[in-house]
Amino acid sequence: MNELFGTLSDGTAVHRWTLERAGVRVRVLTYGGIVQSVEVPDRDGVVANVVLGFEEAAGYPAHPGPYYGALVGRYANRIAKGRFTLDGWSYALPVNSGANCLHGGERGFDERLWDAEPVAHGVRLSRVSPHGEEGFPGRLEVSATYTLDEDGALRIAYEAVTDAPTVVNLTNHSYFNLSGAGSGSAAGHELRLAASRFTPVDADLIPTGVESVAGTRFDFREPRTAGPGYDHNFVLDKGLTAGPVEVAELYDPASGRVLTVATTEPGLQLYTGDHLLAPYAPNDGIALETQHFPDSPNHPEFPSTVLRPGEVYRSETVYGFSTRQ
C-alpha cells in the first residue's frame, strides 16, 4: 500500500509504503529510504513496533543526526578528515562529524527524496546521485529494494552503477528495541556476533587496524548484553560473500523477540545509541549496520569500496524476526 505520509518544509510530498506478510508489517518512506516501523509479535502474540522513528514526516528532518531508520550513503560510516585519493586524484568531502565525513556528508542519501515503484512483496526505491554530490566523483545510479520474504523477514537489496571511478558503501541505520520503540533502554538485549576480530579506533573513531576480540569487551561470539559503550566495526568471520550469511542475533529476554541479521557485507557496525537525544534517550535502540569498513578508501588493506564503470555494486541484508520462550 502506498499513501501520502506528509510534507517537508518546502512542500515536498513524502509517501509511505506498507509491506505486510507472515504477520510482519514494515513501513518504508520515500524520504531517506527510511524504515519507519517494523511491527512484529512477542512471545505472547502482542504486536509492537521494534524500530525507533517518528509518526510524522517532519520528525525526520528535525532530528537528522541519529539517522533513524535511514538508507545511508554515498559512503556509510566515516572517512578520515573528509579526504581520500582514488587513481591519483584527491577528493575533499564535507566534514560533518568532528574532523571526519560521516554517512555521506552534510546532506547524504538519508536526506534525499527517492523515487518508488512496486515490486512483488515490496517496493524499489531509486535515485541518481550526480557527479560531485557531497564531493563524491561519478554519476551514481542507485537503488534499494525492500521486500518481505515468505517468513516475514525484511530483505534490503542495494545496487549501484557509476560512470566514473568512485567509492560506495551503503547501509540501513535502523535502531532496534525488541521490547518496542519508546519502551526504554535496549541495553539489556543479548547480542551474538560471528566476528573474531574488530577494528579498534582512535579518538575520532577512525580505525587504527584490526585486532582479535579475544579477552576484550568486543567478544560477542557467545551471547551477552549489548551495551552501552559501542560504536565499532566488527570484522565478520565469513568475509564478503555472494549471498547473505547469518552473522548476528539480538535477543530481548523481556519480550522473547529475536532479530537475526544475514548479510553479504564483510563488516557490521555495532552502535548502542549512546548519544540519542529527545524524544528518545541514550541506549533506547541498538543499530546493527552491515557495511564495508570505516575509512576504507584510506586503508588499502581493507576490503575495497571502489566502484568502477562497467561494474555493479551489490549488497544484501536480511532481518529475520522470531520469538523464544
| C-beta contacts of 116-123 below 8 A and 24+ residues apart | 116/2, 116/15, 116/17, 116/30, 118/2, 118/17, 119/145, 119/147, 120/147, 121/19, 121/21, 121/147, 121/148, 121/149, 122/17, 122/19, 122/146, 122/147, 122/148, 122/155, 123/2, 123/17, 123/19, 123/28
Average pLDDT over residues 190-199: 98
Confidence class of residue 1 from pLDDT cuts 50, 70 and 90? Answer: confident
Q: Are 146 and 26 in contact (CB under 8 A)?
A: yes
Average pLDDT over residues 287-293: 98
Residues with catalytic function: 173, 289
Return the number of other C-beta atoms located less than 10 Å from residue 149's C-beta. 15
The overall average pLDDT reported for the chain is 97
Return the number of other C-beta atoms located less than 10 Å from residue 32's C-beta. 27
Confidence class of residue 193 from pLDDT cuts 50, 70 and 90? Answer: very high
In the predicted structure, residue 325 carries a pLDDT above the cut 90 = no
Confidence class of residue 8 from pLDDT cuts 50, 70 and 90? Answer: very high
Q: Which fold has domain 2-323?
A: Beta-galactosidase; Chain A, domain 5 (2.70.98)
In the predicted structure, residue 254 carries a pLDDT above the cut 90 = yes
Which residues are bridge partners to 257 per DSSP? Answer: 323
Fill in the amino acid letter for 126: S
Average pLDDT over residues 206-214: 98
Cα–Cα distance, 287 to 202 (Å, whole number) = 21
Looking at residue 156, its pLDDT comes to 99
Looking at residue 218, its pLDDT comes to 98
Which residues are bridge partners to 17 per DSSP? Answer: 2, 28
* Percent of the chain clearing pLDDT 90 (strictly above): 98
Domain borders along the chain are 2-323
**Model pLDDT for residues 15-55, shown as the tens digit of each residue:** 999 999 999 999 999 999 999 999 999 999 999 999 999 99
pTM over 0.75: yes
Q: Are 103 and 77 in contact (CB under 8 A)?
A: yes
